[in-house]
Amino acid sequence: MSDKADIRAARLSGEQIESNFADMHPPLTPSEAIIDADRCYFCYDAPCTTACPTGIDIPGFIQKIRSGNIKGSAHTILSENIMGGMCARVCPTEVLCEEACVRMAESRPVRIGMLQRYATDPIFEAGTQLFERAPATGRKVAIVGGGPAGLSCAHRLAMLGHSPTVFEPKQKLGGLNEYGIAAYKTPDDFAAREVAYILDIGGIEVKTGVSLGTSVSLSDLRRNHDAVFLGFGLGGVNGLSLEGEQLEGVANAVDYIAELRQASNKAALPVGRKVVVIGGGMTAIDIAVQSKALGADEVTMVYRRGQENMNASGYEQEFAQTRGVTLRLWSKPSKLLVSAGRVRGVEFESTQNAGDTYVLEADMVFKAIGQKILWDRLADTAQILDLKQDRILVDDERRTSLPGVWAGGDCVSGGEDLTVSAVQDGKVAALSIDEFLRRQART
């Protein structure tokens, strides 16, 4: 059997794959939603709201669900987090709002994420627009990057009457929500539908296929706009620094997830019989679980430290293991084993006991050890901005060191790899930009 046949032999039927990629959390029924809403204590100065990066009034939206005011509940959510629908699906609520829930001490927390989805799903499905654009101010703002931070910023600016233009290198908006999150977390093109809802407010211009540093410069944007917001995320992937990394069978997890998300027929994608994933974050979890869902016989996820150090939450780690993923800890890759021009395995070295090694057979190896900004493509930008640890330095209002330029999301120093945090960055920056533009107008 040929090498390529070995890779494809692990296929499942299209029907099996479709089942494996079904919604990981089916929505609550009305009765389930009411039961969970009734469990809320509606705390004063609620710790769940404090724990939410976007500051959603969680007791407020749950109370509206109890009273049957679904539209009002959705408005409460989306007023603070315009991507509340996606965050209800992908945010680690178990370590954010739900971990802060006072019910945790009794049994289990209120299922805040599921209730948030219960409130927002009908709004997106019906296309019920809850927001409108204020009268035009005539002020133009360039938004670099059409991911959560950029779209959040653009939407809030449109609400305030400004005219944002989103510059996005890819052909679709949404950033990692569209290209980088496991398909089973956001089925039925939800990411695209949420983007369409955001743009439906009007007044937001979109230019795809435009890359900062290649198609347009930061200097150009500053010259032609009243303000600029940078939300271009992390375009590069960290390498293993091992010989053979460019050979067949070794791939970036981010690229493969993007291919999987855009595939009209997932059954056509190749998957190895024995897959090794190197990394311990959400991307590693996503590619590991999806490899198993595509039909891999064995999927092993290897991380250099202990489980408590992994960026993936405990819930996600457990979810991967219940889906058949094996987890190996305290190990780092030391050598790729290659034969006939493709990878055949990985040698690992213990990070606890020097000299201890072991080998995992693999016909596919995924790199998921973090992302980075490709500053070599953005040299002009890097020269005029203050950076910290290769990320853009911003203040509490997301202002950069360059007058008239703001930034948010993964590209900023201290930025978290969370949709909800990026949305908050975009919102905070938009409010600061609005104040800046109105102050200019008065002078």
pLDDT digits (tens, 9 = 90+) for 68-81: 999 999 999 999 99
| 340 three-state secondary structure | coil
* CB environment 221-233: b (16+ within 10 A), e (fewer): bbeebbbbbbbbb
* CB environment 292-309: b (16+ within 10 A), e (fewer): bbbbbebbbbbbbeeeee
CB 101 within 8 A of CB 112: yes
Q: Does 140-235+373-442 carry CATH code 3.50.50.60? A: yes
Verdict on whether the full-model pTM lies above 0.75: yes
- Predicted local confidence at residue 26, as pLDDT: 87
Mean model confidence pLDDT for the chain:
94
Lowest mean per-residue pLDDT among 130-139, 150-159, 376-385: 376-385
For residues 372 and 232, give the distance between their C-alpha atoms in angstroms, rounded to a whole number: 11
Strand pairing report for 236-237 and 371-372: antiparallel
Q: For residue 2, is pLDDT > 70?
A: no
- Residue ranges, CATH 3.50.50.60, the chain: 140-235+373-442, 239-371
Q: Among 434, 311, 344, 328, which Cα is nearest to 7's? A: 344
CB 390 within 8 A of CB 372: yes
Domain 239-371 architecture: 3-Layer(bba) Sandwich (3.50)
Question: Tokens in use for 92?
Answer: 């680690």
Per-residue pLDDT of 322-367, as tens digits, reads 999 999 999 999 999 999 999 999 999 999 999 999 999 999 999 9
Question: Tokens in use for 277?
Answer: 């994933």
Percent of the chain clearing pLDDT 90 (strictly above):
85
Q: Among 428, 371, 333, 38, which Cα is nearest to 176's? A: 371
Domain 30-126 architecture: Orthogonal Bundle (1.10)
Give the helix ranges, DSSP H, for 39-138: 47-51, 58-66, 70-80, 84-90, 97-100, 112-126
- Residue ranges, CATH 1.10.1060.10, the chain: 30-126
- Predicted local confidence at residue 11, as pLDDT: 60
- Predicted local confidence at residue 352, as pLDDT: 96
Phi, psi of 359 (to 5 degrees): -120, 135
Residue 106, amino acid: E
Q: For residue 417, is pLDDT > 90?
A: no
Strand pairing report for 342-350 and 331-339: antiparallel
For residues 25 and 33, give the distance between their C-alpha atoms in angstroms, rounded to a whole number: 14
What confidence tier does 4 reach under pLDDT thresholds 50, 70, 90?
Answer: very low
Mean pLDDT of 121-143: 97
Tell how far CA 55 is from the center of its chain. Answer: 19
